[in-house]
Every structure is written in structure tokens, then in C-alpha cells.
Structure 1
Amino acid sequence: MDVGDVLWTVLGAGLILLMLADVFRTLLYPHGSGPVSRAIMRGLWLLTRRLRGRASTIAAPLAMAAVIGAWAGLAVIGWALLYLPHLTDGFVYGDGVPQEADFAEALYISLVTLSTVGYGDIVAAYPLLRLVAAFQAVTGFGLLTATVSWILQMYPALSRRRALAHELNLFREAAGPEGVASLDPRHAAGLLESLARNVASVSIDLLSFHETYYFHEVEQRGSLPATVAYAHGLASDAERSENPDLQFAGRMLHASLDHLAEVLRGKFGHQGTTSSAVFDSYALHHKHKQPREPDTE
């Protein structure tokens, strides 16, 4: 192998390692996300936020598809670069198959191997190349199952977030403008404790599946960014109550909301020294709150 072949091999191995590291950080590492997936998700989110209409509603699904495509692309190109220096001497060609030594041929071999199709028209001749091809086939199968699992894990987390938003809206409609004051203190305390548990679940979902943050809800009824401020108000009202049970429930809900605000601040860069300010920023980013007009006085 000459210097050029060594460079192609090193570059290919680097792309493969980048893909594996990104998949590990995104799918297997708790509370993590790979650099490739994070850049794609955030980039498409920022792009669609500048567009009018419902473009932001397709940002997250489109970004997830782009992440999966990026993983597959890195794998295909990486292994193609590994095969390229060994064309055509390192492979056995079937009858009638033209022997080419260009990148397109290496890309074809890589695609067939990664997808585990295995036509058998071109197979590795050297033992080491056969091991490399077998490892790529295993990686391709693992990548397929991992991405399917990733997609299936997203939607339960989204359902929990939407259910919390609906629950807050139902509470607001049933309690009216008086809020917790219109309810029996013990009954209100039980409801607030249930809300606190649900808020905690959403915080864990955002840490474990950061991609769910970028799913935008058009209707405010199912949008947590549009309703979380109401939960903060309920917690404050409960803490001012004279009933000990309701006070404890208010503190519990307040603590859960503070943790959610800390996740939004630390994980997604929302600014604000208080939880209320973070929630305002959260609603603004998801287009459920208008930016404040500058003071003209």
C-alpha cells in the first residue's frame, strides 16, 4: 500500500469510528447525544424556526430521518474507503462482472455488505478483508435494529409530555380562575402531587431523549411550553395556602418544576435566573409566546 492508500484507510476508519461513537452516545449512553445527531437536530430546528407556517412541526421527524441517513452514509463511505485500496486484487469477481477499481465500485460493495443483501457477485478474497466485510454486515444489522428502537422510544416520551399538557389544561378548565382555592385542600394536594410526578417524568424524558425537545406542538392544548407556566402558578398558590398538605404538595410541584427548568437551562441553553424566566424562554422558542416589545420610554 502506498501513502495514498494509507490515507484512504485512515480516513475510512475515522468515519466508521465517528459513526459508532455517535450511535453509542445517542442511543446507548444515558443522558447523552452524539455530535453528529446533536448538530443535525439543532440545525434543522433553528432553520425551521425562521420559517412561517407549520414547518417547525416537521423539523424533528425530518431531523431524525437525517440523523439515520447520516449514520448510514458515514458507515457506507467509511467502509468504501477501506475497500478502495484493495480493488481489484483483494476481491473475487463473478463471471461477467466488470472489474473496476474506482470509488463507485467500492461504494457498491459497501452498500451491499452494510445492507446484508449479499449478492455474491463480488466477495473479499483475503482473510482480513472477509473479516472486515463480516463486521460491516453485523454493524449494518445492528444499526437497523438500533434506529428502529430509537424511533419507538421517542413516542412514549412525547405522549407523556402531551398528556401532562392536557392534564394541566383540564385542571385549569375545571378549577376556573380561583385555581386550587376552589378545591378541597386534600383533594387539591393529591392532584398537585400527581402533577409533580408527571413533571419529573418529563424532565427525565428530556434528559434521556433530548430529541423529543425539538418536537413542536401546533395546538397549545397539547403543548407543554404553552402550559407549564400555569403549573408554576399552581405551585406558588399552593405554597401560600394555610393547609399543610397543600403547602407540601406545592413545594413538591415547585421542586419538580425547578428541576425541569434546570434541564431546559443546562441541556438546551435557555436563559433565565428564575424558573419563570426559563419557562418564558421555553414558550418563546416553541412559538407559544410572543417576544416582548422593546421599551420605548
Structure 2
Amino acid sequence: MEFIDLAGTIAGAGLILLMAVDVFHTLLYPHGTGPVCRTVMHGLWLLFRRFSGRASPIAAPVGMAAVIGAWASLSIMGWALIYLPHLPAGFVYADGVPQHGNFTEAIYISMVSLSTVGYGEIAPATPPLRFIMAAQAVTGFGLLTATVSWILQTYPALSRRRALAHDLNLLREAAGPPGVLSLEPGHATALLESLARNVSTVSIDLLAFNETYYFNEAKQRGSLPATVAYAQQLASDAITSANADLRFAGRMLHASLDDLAEVLRGKFGHSGPTSSAVFLSYETRHRHRRNPDSETS
């Protein structure tokens, strides 16, 4: 094998490895996102904001589709580079099928193998190539399964975040300006403890599914960035209550909000010395307010 063929084979293996590492970190590693996924999602988020002047509700769905396309492209290109040095001598062609030894032919063979279609008009002639094509078919099936599971895992996390925002809006409308202090202490305590658990769940979702951060809600009622400040107000009011149980529930909610702020600060670059400042940055970025900090983050 010539040096250029060897270099192409190594490059192909590198692309396949990059795809596998990215899928692993995005879907299997509990608190991470692969470099390809992170770059594509964040890049499209910024691109939509720059050209539309606001955060778009379609940026994240488009980003997820682009990530899936990037995984498939990396796999197709990688396997094609491995097949290329063996074309056309390493394959058996059916009658009437023209033989080519170019990269386009390698891409075609790789796409057919990855999709597990297996037309059969071009087949590997040697045992190593048969094994390689079978391995690619297995990875193609695995990639399809992984992308479906990614989508199925992402949207329940989004639903939990929207439900928390809706609960906060309903509580604000029902309780009015007095907030939880107008409620019976036992009832208020149960409400705040439930909110604290839901805020903790959202924090875990953001850690496990980083890509959900880039989803922007079309309606404010379902937007956590627009309502999280009210949760802070509820916690602060409860801490001043004369009821010990309500004060404890307020501290629980306050602690869960601090954890959420730490996730936003550490994972998504929201700056601020306090949780309130972090949440203001979070709201600014998702509610499309113009300021220098939000344009560069």
C-alpha cells in the first residue's frame, strides 16, 4: 500500500473515531456533549441570533438535524477513505455495472453499506473487506438507533422544563402580589418543596442533555428563563416567614436555584457573582434583549 493510501486509511479511521467519540459523549456519557455536537449546536445558535436578531425557536431543532447529518457524514467519509485504496480491484461488480476507482465510487459504497440497503451490485472480494463492510453496516444500524434514542430522550427533558415554567406562571397568577405568604403555610410549604424538586430535575436535565439549553420557547408561558426570577422571589419571601416549615422549604428552593445557576455558569458561560445575575443573563440571552455580553456569548 502506497503512502498516500495509508494516509487516507488512517484519516478515515480518525473520522470514524471522531464520530464514535462524539456519539458516546453526547448520548452515553451522563454529563457531557461531544465536540462536534457542541460546536454545531452553539454555532447555529449564534448564527440564527446574528441574522435574525433574536434567538429562534427553530435553531435547536435545526441544530440537532445538523448534528445527525454531521455524524452520518463523518461515518460515510471515514469508511469511504478506507475503501478507496481497494477500488476497483478489491470489489466484484455485477454485469453491466461500470467499474470506477474514484472517491465518488467509494462514497457510494460507503452510503449503501451504512444505510444497510445492500443493493448487491458491488460486493467486497476479499475477507478483510467483507468484514469491514459488515462492521460499517452494524455501526450504521447503531447510529440510526442512537439518533432515535437521542430525540426520544431530549423532548421529555424539554417537557419537564416547560412544565416548571407553566407551574411558576400559574402560581404567580393565582397567588397575586402577596405570593406564597398569602397561602396557608402547610400548603405553601408543599408547593415550594415541589418546585425545589422540579428545579433540581431541570438542573440534572441540563447536565445530561446539554443540547436542550439551546431550545428557545416560542411562548413566554413555557419559558423558564422568563420565569425563573419569580422562583427566586418565592424562595426569598418564604425565608422571611414566621413558619419554620415554610422557611425550610424556602431554603430548599433557594439551594436548588443556586445549583441551577451553577450549571448555567459552568456549562453555558453565564457570568455573574450571584444567582440573580446568572438568571438575568439567562433571561437576556433567551428573551433576545440586546446587550454586548449576550451578543458575544
Q: Does the TM-score normalized on the shorter chain lie above 0.5?
A: yes
2:61 equivalent in structure 1:
61
- Residue 41 of structure 1 and its aligned partner are, at CA, apart by 0.3
- Residue 219 of structure 1 and its aligned partner are, at CA, apart by 1.5
Residue identity matched to 1:144: L
2:295 equivalent in structure 1:
none
Cα deviation digits, residues 16-64 of structure 1 (max 9, x gap)? 0000110011011111110000000000111112233776111000000
**8 Å contact from structure 1 (residues 175, 182) kept in 2:** yes
Q: Give the Cα–Cα distance (whole angstroms) in 2 for the partners of residues 256 and 194 of structure 1.
A: 11
Q: Give the Cα–Cα distance (whole angstroms) in 2 for the partners of residues 97 and 80 of structure 1.
A: 19
**8 Å contact from structure 1 (residues 60, 211) kept in 2:** yes
1:124 equivalent in structure 2:
124
What is the TM-score with the length of structure 1 in the denominator?
Answer: 0.96
- Residue 288 of structure 1 and its aligned partner are, at CA, apart by 5.7
Q: Give the Cα–Cα distance (whole angstroms) in 2 for the partners of residues 218 and 280 of structure 1.
A: 19
Residue identity matched to 2:273: T
Q: Give the Cα–Cα distance (whole angstroms) in 1 for the partners of residues 52 and 199 of structure 2.
A: 30
What is the TM-score with the length of structure 2 in the denominator?
Answer: 0.96
SS of 1:57's partner is: coil
Q: Give the Cα–Cα distance (whole angstroms) in 2 for the partners of residues 87 and 62 of structure 1.
A: 36
Larger relative CO (CA 8 A, sep 6+): 1 or 2? Answer: 2
**8 Å contact from structure 2 (residues 54, 288) kept in 1:** no
**8 Å contact from structure 1 (residues 54, 218) kept in 2:** no
1:114 equivalent in structure 2:
114
Distance of aligned partners of 1:106 and 1:290 in 2 relative to their CA distance in 1, 3 Å threshold: closer
Q: Give the Cα–Cα distance (whole angstroms) in 1 for the partners of residues 290 and 181 of structure 2.
A: 30
Cα deviation digits, residues 161-191 of structure 1 (max 9, x gap)? 0000000000000110011111111110110
- Residue 79 of structure 1 and its aligned partner are, at CA, apart by 0.3
Counterparts of 1:51-90 in structure 2 under 5 Å? 51-52=51-52, 56-90=56-90
Which stretches of structure 1, 4 residues or longer, exceed 3 Å deviation after superposition?
A: 51-55, 288-292
Structure 1 unmatched ranges of 5 or more = 293-297
Cα deviation digits, residues 244-276 of structure 1 (max 9, x gap)? 010000000000000000000001010011000
Structure 2 unmatched ranges of 5 or more = 293-297
Q: Give the Cα–Cα distance (whole angstroms) in 2 for the partners of residues 192 and 263 of structure 1.
A: 21
State whether structure 2 residue 250 is matched by structure 1 residue 253: no
SS of 1:12's partner is: helix
Q: Give the Cα–Cα distance (whole angstroms) in 1 for the partners of residues 199 and 221 of structure 2.
A: 16
Q: Give the Cα–Cα distance (whole angstroms) in 2 for the partners of residues 240 and 212 of structure 1.
A: 34
Cα deviation digits, residues 104-156 of structure 1 (max 9, x gap)? 11111000000000011111111111111000000000000110110111111
1:48 equivalent in structure 2:
48
**8 Å contact from structure 1 (residues 225, 288) kept in 2:** no
SS of 1:123's partner is: strand
Q: Give the Cα–Cα distance (whole angstroms) in 2 for the partners of residues 121 and 131 of structure 1.
A: 18
- Residue 291 of structure 1 and its aligned partner are, at CA, apart by 4.5
**8 Å contact from structure 2 (residues 55, 285) kept in 1:** no
1:275 equivalent in structure 2:
275
Question: CA RMSD for the aligned pairs?
Answer: 1.2
Distance of aligned partners of 1:289 and 1:249 in 2 relative to their CA distance in 1, 3 Å threshold: farther
Distance of aligned partners of 1:84 and 1:199 in 2 relative to their CA distance in 1, 3 Å threshold: same
1:295 equivalent in structure 2:
none
1:180 equivalent in structure 2:
180
Q: Give the Cα–Cα distance (whole angstroms) in 1 for the partners of residues 62 and 237 of structure 2.
A: 41
